[in-house]
C-alpha cells in the first residue's frame, strides 16, 4: 500500500484523540497540522511528532504532496473548508457533523463524486466492533424483529472553557453535536422515518440547548431520542423486540460493551450476557483504517457510512430544527 500523506486541520479536543489513532494506522502518515493560530499548530506538532505546522490553510491545499485532509474545525466552517479541499484535489474526512444542513452536505458529496475524490463524515460509531455486533445480533433475530429504539445523549457543557459549543456562529448546538448520534443509530436500525415529532429549548439567537424527538416508522415502530448540552440524559441506547432487547452501555456512541437481554427470563431481567470488545487507541482506529483502505482502492465513499446515509440523517435533522426553532 502506498503511504497516504495526511494533513490534520484543527488542534482541538477531538484532534488530540483522532490524530494519534491516525498515526498508528498502517498506510497513513500525518505530515502537517494546521490551525488558525500558528502557535497552537506548532505546539500540537511538537507534542505529537508531526514534522510541519502552519497557520496557512491555503498553503496546505496547494501542497501537491498532501493526499488527504482530516478536518476538525468548528462546525460552521466545515462546508467551506471541505469544499476548498475537494477543489484542491484532496480526499476529505470531515468531523461530524459534516455540515450544518442537508443542502450543504449534498453539495459536498456532488463535488466529491464529480472530482472522483473520497469524502466521508467521521461517524466513528458505525465502524466500532460493538456497533457491528449490535447489527449482527439484530440480523440473527436475537431479539426478534426490532420494534423500538431509545437513545439519549445529554451532558451539561460549561459556558467557560468551551465557548465554541455555546457560540451560535461556530456551533450547531445540541442537535448537531450530540443528537446526531441517536439519529444515526435510529437510521441504521430502521432507516429514514416516515414522521417526526420534536420539541426543544432554543435560545433567542437560534442555538438549541436541548431537544427530545420521536422518529416514527411503518407498522408502529419508533425511536425515542433526546440530546442536551445543559443537563444529563442517560447515556445508553437500546433496541427492543418481542424476544428481548440489546443495550449499548454508556456512553453508547463510544462504548465497547453490548448487553444482550435475551434467551431466557434470567438473562432478560437479571443477568444479561455482556459482550465486550477491546478498544483500539482512542476508538477511532477501525474507522480510520477503513477510510485509508477505501482511498487506496479509489472509492469516493465508504459502504458503512455512505453519502446516502449522511444525507438521510441530515434530512431528519433539518425537520427537527424546523419544528423546534
What's the distance, CA 193 to chain centroid? 19
d(CA 227, CA 196): 15
Has 90 been annotated as catalytic? no
d(CA 166, CA 172): 9
Orientation of helix 180-190 relative to helix 129-139, angle to 10°: 30
d(CA 50, CA 212): 42
Backbone angles phi, psi at 172, to 5 degrees: -100, 0
CB 16 within 8 A of CB 10: no
What's the distance, CA 184 to chain centroid? 8
Give the closest residue to 175 by CA, choosing from 290, 25, 325, 6: 325
Prior bond to 97 cis, omega within 30?
yes
Q: In sequence order, what are the residues at sequence separation of 6 or more whose Cβ sits closer than 8 angstroms to the Cβ of residue 149?
A: 185, 186, 189, 190, 222, 223, 224, 225, 237, 238, 239, 240
Backbone angles phi, psi at 165, to 5 degrees: -65, -25
Please name the residue ranges forming H helices in 153-264: 173-174, 180-190
Which position among 40, 90, 96, 126 bears the catalytic label?
96
Radius of gyration of the chain (CA): 20
Q: Which residues are catalytic?
A: 96
Amino acid at each position: 500500500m502506498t503511504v497516504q500523506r495526511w494533513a490534520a486541520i484543527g488542534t482541538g479536543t477531538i484532534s488530540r484523540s483522532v490524530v494519534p489513532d491516525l498515526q498508528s494506522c498502517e498506510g497513513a502518515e500525518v505530515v502537517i497540522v494546521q490551525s488558525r493560530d500558528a502557535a497552537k499548530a506548532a505546539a500540537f506538532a511538537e507534542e505529537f511528532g508531526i514534522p510541519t505546522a502552519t497557520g496557512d490553510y491555503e498553503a496546505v491545499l496547494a501542497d501537491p504532496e498532501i493526499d488527504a485532509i482530516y478536518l476538525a474545525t468548528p462546525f460552521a466552517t466545515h462546508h467551506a473548508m471541505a469544499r476548498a479541499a475537494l477543489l484542491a484535489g484532496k480526499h476529505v474526512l470531515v468531523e461530524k457533523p459534516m455540515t450544518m444542513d442537508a443542502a450543504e452536505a449534498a453539495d459536498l458529496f456532488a463535488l466529491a463524486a464529480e472530482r472522483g475524490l473520497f469524502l466521508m463524515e467521521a461517524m466513528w460509531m458505525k465502524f466500532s466492533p460493538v456497533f457491528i455486533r449490535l447489527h449482527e445480533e439484530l440480523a440473527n433475530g436475537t431479539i426478534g424483529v426490532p420494534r423500538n429504539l431509545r437513545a439519549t445523549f445529554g451532558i451539561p457543557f460549561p459556558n467557560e472553557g468551551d465557548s465554541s459549543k455555546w457560540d451560535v456562529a461556530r456551533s450547531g448546538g445540541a442537535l448537531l453535536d450530540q443528537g446526531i448520534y441517536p439519529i444515526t443509530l435510529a437510521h441504521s436500525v430502521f432507516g429514514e422515518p416516515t414522521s417526526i415529532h420534536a420539541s426543544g429549548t432554543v435560545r433567542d439567537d437560534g442555538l438549541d440547548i436541548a431537544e427530545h424527538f420521536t422518529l416514527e416508522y411503518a407498522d408502529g415502530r419508533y425511536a425515542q431520542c433526546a440530546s442536551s448540552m445543559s443537563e444529563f440524559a442517560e447515556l445508553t441506547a437500546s433496541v427492543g423486540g418481542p424476544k428481548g432487547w440489546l443495550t449499548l452501555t454508556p456512553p453508547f456512541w463510544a462504548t465497547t460493551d453490548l448487553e444482550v437481554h435475551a434467551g431466557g427470563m434470567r438473562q432478560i431481567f437479571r443477568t444479561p450476557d455482556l459482550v465486550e470488545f477491546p478498544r483500539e487507541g482512542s476508538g477511532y482506529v477501525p474507522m480510520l483504517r477503513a477510510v485509508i483502505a477505501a482511498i487506496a482502492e479509489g472509492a469516493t465513499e465508504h459502504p458503512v457510512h455512505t453519502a446516502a446515509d449522511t444525507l438521510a440523517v441530515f434530512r431528519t435533522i433539518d425537520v427537527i430544527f424546523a419544528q423546534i426553532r
